[in-house]
Amino acid sequence: MINNEDLLARVEKPGRYAGGELNAIIKGRDGIKVSFALAFPDVYEVGMSYPGFKILYHVLNGLPFVQAERVYAPWTDMEALMRSKGRRLAALETGRELSAFDLVGFTLQYELTYSNIVNMLDLGAVAVLAAARGEKEPFVVGGGPCVFNPEPLADFFDFFIVGDGEELIVETAAACRDWKEAGRPGGRRGFLEVLARLPGIYVPCFYQAEYTGDGRFKQLTAQNPAAPPYIKKRAVKNLDAAGYPTAPVVPFNEIIHDRIALEVFRGCTRGCRFCHAGMVYRPLRERSVAQLKRLARGLVDSTGYNEISLISLSTADYSCLAELLADLSLDFARERVSVSLPSLRLDSFSIEVAQKVSGVRKSGLTFAPEAGTQRLRDVINKGVSEENVLAATSAAFAAGWSSLKLYFMIGLPTETFADLKGIADLAFKVIDAGRRRSGRRDVKATVSVSPFVPKPWTPFQWAEQDSVERTKEKQLYLKSLLCNSRALAYQYHDPQAGALEGLFARGDRRLGRVIVSAWRKGARFDGWSEHFDYGRWRDALSEHAPAAPWRRAFGEGEPLPWDHVRPGVAPEYLLREWKKALKGETTPDCRQGCAGCGVCPALGVGKTMAAR
């Protein structure tokens, strides 16, 4: 069946809502004890590109007693039609509306999707506030990277799954079945008490937050015997054993990443100090070459895609990359299936790899020096030198690329205007070196600059974030340095969006009211510049949480609103790294030897590398 079929001819990209895709799993009602909606708080093309939900979809549907379905945020044209006709948000597989599910799970990938979560609940006829949900309403669960500070969302969620979801989500579904079959003992609260005892689950209503007289966060205390003081993340020990879906849903309409996504490893060893993903997905767990080859074969056969993207936080770091690429190209050459890497690190080996894997596309090569001077790159622990950058970029130009992208951040801790000038200097050197090495005059680079946002559970979690005005001033300064060159294009991001992202990243429970208020004022799709309106948020904030910790530095001993949700990296390690950062001292990659971040012992999970 197709939801809202009569409306589809009236909207942009109707294929978003039609469902019925290849490999979608639609079970009969027989034997289904638990219904689980996997809700992505952004539009279909974005949500369908996210590999995490593909894993959970297949893990859940692998359980005979579960029907898992997908639901995405309707675009604003569709929402307007749905609201005018009184339609409710329903899932793609069976057309069940959100309010009729047992569990509705949102993935928290990006702070600027929070208003969409509220909007989707409302459109699906689920009470927006967890406290207002009736006995028959679904349990709303969140997971994903933003769960490492879930506090701004505490009002909306019944519980959170912290860390890797593939095992814990099975335990959750089983617990739900058992609770329902036992006659729902204790009602909603009873189920939440069962959940709170599962390692890795956080039930926010079992905790009380306190604030100081001057409006700072003071502490969060457990109020229920089932609720642990700290929630340690779950981590899958062995990715080869954890499995991976080889028959993902293949959309009919074009999505953002319209290709096979094969996860090569999880976790990153580099230890960049600004990087949230690098800290919260530790430790490194690599899949074996043999397993990746098996998965690739299954994926190609079941999807018919012509491209395999080897994904991870830093695929060029994979221990057996050369072997894997050689094997895959041998396996798939006859079928014209190409292999690609989503991101590249700065060394000439990467260029060789890039040539091998995508001799095809002479575009889309991105290098991320992140900072303009060696001093600042040491502060952020980005282990690349100017020589690395120039060698890699000019190798790329020599290999035939005519343009590439250089990615930087501004507003990093300790940054001065000399560091900003360093960005421009480096960009000009890239062009000069590229011209010399390639012998061509037409080499081009795009300098893409985004404002730094301090994230929880990183060494920079204590840092001050630049104000919108300050960011604008820096952006203009950079523009003045870069605008004279035809070889360089300059791209920058909305500092207001960065400000909001920072607010949610390090905010506390008091932001719940702000989110509801901004949503009532019309906030949706805040991550899309055409829909983002800073004014709504500024007003909501001044009405409901004037004391929110907007971009300020946190003191080293100050209680942090996210301290109870633990990714495993030790707070002492983060503080040590923060202090080293301020002194410009670097820390080596933990592939070369343990850097003592504490994750492995804390989680009882070891760093695994594929055997060569």
Partner 1 sequence: MKLRLKITKEGGLRFISHLEYTRTLERAVRRAKLPAAWTEGFNPHMKLSLASALGLGIESLCEYAELELAAPIDAAAAAAALSAKLPQGIRALAADVVEKAPKLAALLSMASYAADMPEGAPAGLINSAAAGYNEAAEFFYDKKTAPGKPARRLDLKKHTLSVACENLPGRTRLCFDCLIAASGSLRANDLIDALNSRFQLNLDIFAVRITRTGLYKEGRKPLIGEG
Query: At 311, which helix (H) or strand (E)?
Result: strand 307-311
Does residue 85 interact with partner 1 by CB under 8 A?
Answer: no
User: Which among 88, 87, 90 has a CA at the least distance from the CA of 37?
Assistant: 90
- Residues 66 and 276 sit within 8 Å (Cβ to Cβ): no
Least separation in angstroms between residue 338's CB and partner 1 is: 9
Q: Which stretch, 12-20, 47-55, 517-525, 585-593, contacts partner 1 (CB under 8 A)? A: 12-20
Q: Applying CB under 8 A, which of residues 77, 181, 323, 335 lies at the interface with partner 1?
A: 335
User: Which among 55, 72, 70, 59 has a CA at the least distance from the CA of 24?
Assistant: 70
Does residue 10 interact with partner 1 by CB under 8 A?
Answer: yes
Among ligand SF4, partner 1, none, partner that 282 touches (CB below 5 to 8 angstroms by kind): ligand SF4
Among partner 1, ligand SF4, none, partner that 242 touches (CB below 5 to 8 angstroms by kind): none
User: What are the backbone angles phi and psi of residue 79, rounded to the nearest 5°?
Assistant: -60, -45
Q: How many C-beta atoms lie closer than 10 Å to residue 578's C-beta?
A: 18
- Residues 395 and 435 sit within 8 Å (Cβ to Cβ): no
Q: Applying CB under 6 A, which of residues 63, 141, 488, 599 lies at the interface with ligand SF4?
A: 599
Cα→Cα distances 538→499, 500, 530, Å: 11, 9, 18
Among ligand SF4, partner 1, none, partner that 349 touches (CB below 5 to 8 angstroms by kind): none
Q: Which stretch, 40-48, 55-63, 251-259, 518-526, contacts partner 1 (CB under 8 A)? A: 251-259
- Residues 162 and 231 sit within 8 Å (Cβ to Cβ): yes
Give the residue with the Cβ less far from partner 1, 6 or 181: 6
Q: How many C-beta atoms lie closer than 10 Å to residue 140's C-beta?
A: 27
Q: Applying CB under 8 A, which of residues 6, 210, 387, 572 lies at the interface with partner 1?
A: 6
Q: Applying CB under 8 A, which of residues 4, 19, 395, 465 lies at the interface with partner 1?
A: 19
First-last CA distance in the chain: 49
- Residues 459 and 273 sit within 8 Å (Cβ to Cβ): yes
Does residue 254 interact with partner 1 by CB under 8 A?
Answer: yes
Least separation in angstroms between residue 601's CB and ligand SF4 is: 7
Among ligand SF4, partner 1, none, partner that 9 touches (CB below 5 to 8 angstroms by kind): partner 1
For residue 485 the two structure tokens come to 């060159």
Q: Which stretch, 29-37, 137-145, 173-181, 588-596, contacts ligand SF4 (CB under 6 A)? A: 588-596
Among ligand SF4, partner 1, none, partner that 590 touches (CB below 5 to 8 angstroms by kind): ligand SF4
Q: Applying CB under 8 A, which of residues 302, 329, 402, 485 lies at the interface with partner 1?
A: 302
Least separation in angstroms between residue 84's CB and partner 1 is: 14
The upper half-sphere exposure of residue 448, i.e. CA atoms within 13 Å in the direction of its Cβ, equals 12
Tell me which residue has tokens 């949700």.
Answer: 565
Q: Applying CB under 8 A, which of residues 14, 243, 342, 598 lies at the interface with partner 1?
A: 14
What's 420's DSSP letter?
H
For residue 112 the two structure tokens come to 């600027």
- Residues 307 and 337 sit within 8 Å (Cβ to Cβ): yes
Residues that bind partner 1 in the complex, under the rule CB under 8 A: 2, 6, 8-10, 14-15, 17-22, 250, 252-254, 300-306, 335-336, 359-361
